[in-house]
Amino acid sequence: MTEHLLSYIIFIPLLASLVVALLPKRLADSYRLIAIVALGLSLVLSVVGVSLFDSDVTGLTNSEASLQMIEKVEWFSINLGSLGRFSVDYFLGVDGLNVSMLLLAAIVLFIGAISSWNIKNKRKGYFSLYLLLSSSVLGCFVALDFFLFYLFFEFMLLPMYFLIGIWGGPRKEYAAIKFFLYTLVGSILILIVMIGLYNSVYDPIKTGAEAGIFESISSATSDQISEVQTQVKLGNVSSENIVKSFNMISMANEDNYLPDSFLSKSSAAQVFGQSARWMAFLALLIGFAIKLPAFPFHTWLPDAHVEAPTPISVVLAGILLKIGGYGMIRTAFSFFPDSAYHYSWLIGFFGMFSIIYGALNALAQKDIKKLIAYSSVSHMGFVLLGLAALTVEGVSGAIYQMFSHGLISATLFLVAGVLYDRTQNRLIENYGGLAHQLPKYTVVVSIAFFASLGLPGFSGFIGELMVFLGAFKSASFIGAIPMWMPVVATLGLVLSAGYYLWTLQRMFFGKYWVKDAARHDNLKDLTLREYLMFVPLIAMIIWFGIFPGTLLDLISNSVEGFTQLMVQAVK
């Protein structure tokens, strides 16, 4: 059971998606149950996975020894004659960099399924697409073969496109196409680098077996692997025997790059007059920055959020954005640590800028969903700032921030959805004094807002604190970003307090007033189903705010391995 745990987590929703698609229309009421059960199963298995995860495993994140729950089989390989072999693995595994993301994905997708309960039209399509989306999101976080990762990554687009485009709001087509095209541009950048990497990286184990340095793949020892690497470096292995690889863990190890290949560290190759490695790093960075999103690639986000139905907004903000951050950590930073260091100033600056820019934009919004969307831009800026710091605190903070933002933004979009469900209107100016009419809802909103503005006691604070400490330390520790950046970025905290408290004051305090009196009758306080979503989310937000060790223990060894990679590259 446990050896294929990750596969189960990914494929249960996929199977459920097929089941939903094949069930006849008269069983339409069971679709949502199937979705909830399937994602509930995935969630349980993810929790099992996290509890089995051994947080004592140490090591650099470019060695497979630091991975756990590995599933690795050759998917297909093609002999390209003198160009060597082309091999793609079905390679899954977790380490500290993705285990928290897997857990978050399972949580948010499950909550999203509950919040899809009230979807009325075209239920078959909706739930099978939702399950398909879930499967590819989960796959994306555990896939460690770049080809497989890319497959999952691209496969997310299709269901997302339809989910926004069919079940969305008034401008759904525009939003869906915008989302699709934006992400596609990012995907193309990633694809280009992927091809470049494939040309440069080989799999030492398979190559060794091919070249006859050792008997079979399973018998390879680490000495033999380094023997292969030396032989390849010396050019003693003929090019037919070289097995090209998409292994993301190998890609992070510079020993696995073919000598003088396009993207190897010694390569003199240039693209647009710059080092090819720098350009490849930038391409990956931008590809994932679109997903994150960071200024100036964020303009798809407000539209997609505003038009998407509530559960899709929840998934979008809660999980999809995190693929951007995770992708940067796993690919751009890991593969090209030297370039990461080279561009750290720029990354840090854009992080800092996103924090303030997003917050200022949020301050000006009239639609509460748009406000939350811009606050996401602001909060994702912390991820960039923390990553750019290249310190343990900074990177842990970035991951923590992603995890916590996943929970908090899910809560925020559910909160906005509650109001929209009742009145079909999200404009802040149309409401006043809602606290009188909806006291329980007001409590939930206040908790969500305070959690999002980084109040201690909630998970958001830990992430932001770590990012600040790590970013400030960076200058004297590794010299990646200057000290003024985190100091300036603290302004984001005041601005976020500003827009949230102002919204609370305008919508919830004062005299009770609703612009369209007809909507008054619909304004009922929270229902049981809504409590089912809010209570666990808020409980987790508070838990991870008070016991950060729960998550940090899982990730800290891998983060240390990751930052050591950076330090080695700088030296």
Partner 1 sequence: MIELKDLLAPNAFDPLIYWILALFAFPLLSFFTTGLLKDKASVWSSLLLGINTCISGYIAVTYWGEMGTSLKGTWFEIGGTVFNYSFLLDNAALIMLVIVNFISLLVHIFSAEYMRHDKAKPRYYAFLGLFTFSMLGIVLFHNLLFIFIFWELVGLSSYLLIGFWFEKKSASLAANKAFIMNRIGDLGFLTGLMILYTQFETLDLGAIEFMMGESQIEDGNWVVTYFSNGKEVIHVLDGRWLSAAGIALFCGAVGKSAQFPLQIWLPDAMEGPTPVSALIHAATMVAAGVFMLSRVFVLLDAQALEVIAIVGAITALMAAVAALSQFDIKKVLAYSTVSQLGYMVLAMGVGAYDAGLFHLFTHAFFKAGLFLSAGIIIHQLHGLESEGVKFNTQDMRVMGGLKQHLPITFACFVICSLSLAGLPGFSGFLSKEAILINTHAWSVEKGGGYYLIELMAFATVILTAFYIMRAVMLVFTGKFRLPELTGVSDIAGKLKEGNRTLLIPVVILALLSLSFAFGSTFDAETSWLHKAVETPSGAMVPTKYAAVGQAEMLESAGADHIWLAVVSIGLALAGIIAALLIYKPGAKLAEAFDSKREPVSPLVQVSFYHWYQDVLYTKVILKFILTQSKMLAWFDEKILDGCVNLLARTQVVVAHLTGMFDRYIIDGFVHLTAFTSGKVGQLTRSIQTGNVQTYILSAIAMLIMLLLWFAF
Residues contributing to the site for partner 1 (CB under 8 A): 178, 181-182, 296, 299-300, 357, 360-361, 363-365, 392-393, 396, 433, 435-436, 450, 455-457, 461, 465-466, 468-469, 471-473, 476-477, 486-487, 490-491, 493-494, 497-498, 501-502, 504-505, 508-511, 547-549, 552-553, 556, 559-560, 563
- Closest distance of CB 397 from partner 1, Å: 9
Of the candidates 13, 26, 15, the residue with the CA atom closest to the CA atom of residue 124: 26
| Comparison of 136 and 557: residue with beta carbon closer to partner 1 | 557
Given a contact cutoff of 8 angstroms between Cβ atoms, the answer to whether 380 and 359 are in contact is no
Strands 243-245 and 431-432: unpaired
Distance CA 369, CA 560 (A): 37
The minimum distance between CB 67 and partner 1, in angstroms, equals 19
Instruction: Give the count of alpha carbons within 13 A of 440, CB side only.
Output: 11
- Residue nearer to partner 1 on the CB measure, 19 or 427: 427
**CA angle 348–349–352, rounded 5-degree value:** 85
Q: For partner 1, which is the closer residue by CB, 417 or 470?
A: 470
In the complex, minimum distance from the CB of residue 362 to partner 1, in angstroms, rounded to a whole number: 8
214 by DSSP, 3-state: which?
Answer: coil
Nearer to partner 1, 531 or 547 (CB): 547
Q: What are phi and psi of 465, to 5 degrees?
A: -60, -45
The token duo for 24 is 């006849």
Q: Which is nearer to partner 1, 122 or 440 (CB)?
A: 440
Query: 25 or 511, CB closer to partner 1?
Result: 511
What is the nearest approach in angstroms of partner 1 to the Cβ of residue 311? 25
Whose Cβ is closer to partner 1: residue 169's or residue 510's? 510
Residue 257 and residue 265 in contact, taking contact as beta carbons nearer than 8 Å:
yes
Nearer Cβ to partner 1 (207/365): 365
Backbone φ, ψ for residue 506 (5° rounding): -75, -40
Closest by CA to 279, choosing from 342, 329, 328, is: 342
CB 553, min distance to partner 1, A: 7
Q: Name which of 299 and 522 has its Cβ closer to partner 1.
A: 299
Instruction: Give whichever of 28 and 465 is closer to partner 1, judged by the CB atom.
Output: 465
Residue 14 amino acid letter:
L
**What's the min distance (Å) between Cβ of 549 and partner 1?**
4
Buried b (16+ CB within 10 A) or exposed e, 96-108: bbbbbbbbbbbbb
Helical H runs in 478-548? 484-489, 491-508, 528-546
C-beta atoms surrounding 127 within 10 Å: 28
Taking residue 132's Cβ as centre, other Cβ atoms within 10 Å add up to: 24
Q: Which residues contact 114 (CB under 8 A, 6 or more apart)?
A: 36, 529, 532, 533
Q: How far is the CB of 13 from partner 1 (least distance, A)?
A: 32
Q: Are 242 and 84 in contact (CB under 8 A)?
A: yes
Residue 26 CB, shortest distance to partner 1, in Å, is 42
**Number of helical (H) and strand (E) elements in the chain, helices listed first:** 26, 7
